[in-house]
A and B are shown apart, each in its own frame.
Chain A
Amino acid sequence: EIVLTQSPGTLSLSPGERATLSCRASQSVSSGYLAWYQQKPGQAPRLLIYGASSRATGIPDRFSGSGSGTDFTLTISRLEPEDFAVYYCQQYGSSPPWTFGQGTKVEIK
């Protein structure tokens, strides 16, 4: 089973700042099958990025994903007020099982 470790646990930033979230896998993620989700309180997760770097339909271009192998990054170029949320990475290249990281909370500083 691939274990995903996200860092930092919490990121305190101001609107307009750049956010950089990390996701490290315990072994290589096959074919870059790594996704990122955003979750707000009381809502289901929302797919942002799939295939490590492809934006899902309707996702603003301030969200970008990069990485390969065991190291992946989600970057939010300029934080908007609606971007403060919890973000999860997920691998689907070596599944089952599908696995998620423990999450990074992006909070307003």
Chain B
Amino acid sequence: QVQLVQSGAEVKKPGASVKVSCKASGYTFTRYYMHWVRQAPGQGLEWMGIINPSGGSTSYAQKFQGRVTMTRDASTSTVYMELSSLRSEDTAVYYCARNSGSFLYWGQGTLVTVSS
């Protein structure tokens, strides 16, 4: 069965960076693009970007251009999302989600808290 398992919660100070991982299993890793979506406390879903696990190409939401980097390690079937220059407004749950047009499979979410 398809599983997306994300890394654990993080607490970061303003200005720092965070790197969240998403390990895929149960399917051929390189066949499906992967998205990252975040959700601030009490707020809606916000699309951040997408990565092609096969070639590593990416597309980011304009809001995060210059601050987000998505990478992958095909040898471990893992994608990563790194967000830099963190501010309090980046406190959110970050999800990976496998692309099938719509998002059928989601990771469990990683809470990132930005606090001084």
Contacts and interface: CB of A to CB of B under 8 A. Distances in A.
Which of B44, B46, B95 has most chain A Cβ within 10 Å?
Answer: B44
A88 interface: yes
A90 B100 CA distance: 13
B45 interface: yes
A35 B102 contact: yes
Interface residues of A, number: 21
Contacts of B104: 47, 50, 56
B95 A44 contact: yes
Which of A98, A99, A100 has most chain B Cβ within 10 Å?
Answer: A98
Interface in B73-116: 95, 100-104, 106-109
A35 B95 CA distance: 17
A88 B45 contact: yes
B102 A50 contact: yes
14 contacts: A33-B102, A35-B101, A37-B103, A39-B45, A44-B107, A45-B45, A45-B95, A88-B45, A90-B45, A97-B61, A98-B35, A100-B46, A101-B44, A103-B45
B34 interface: no
A92 interface: yes
Given A44-B108, A101-B44, A103-B44, A96 B61 contact: yes
B44 to A, nearest CB: 5
Given A96-B50, A100-B44, A100-B47, A45 B106 contact: yes
A96 to B, nearest CB: 5
Contacts of B100: 50
B59 interface: yes
Given A44-B106, A44-B109, A98-B35, A33 B101 contact: yes
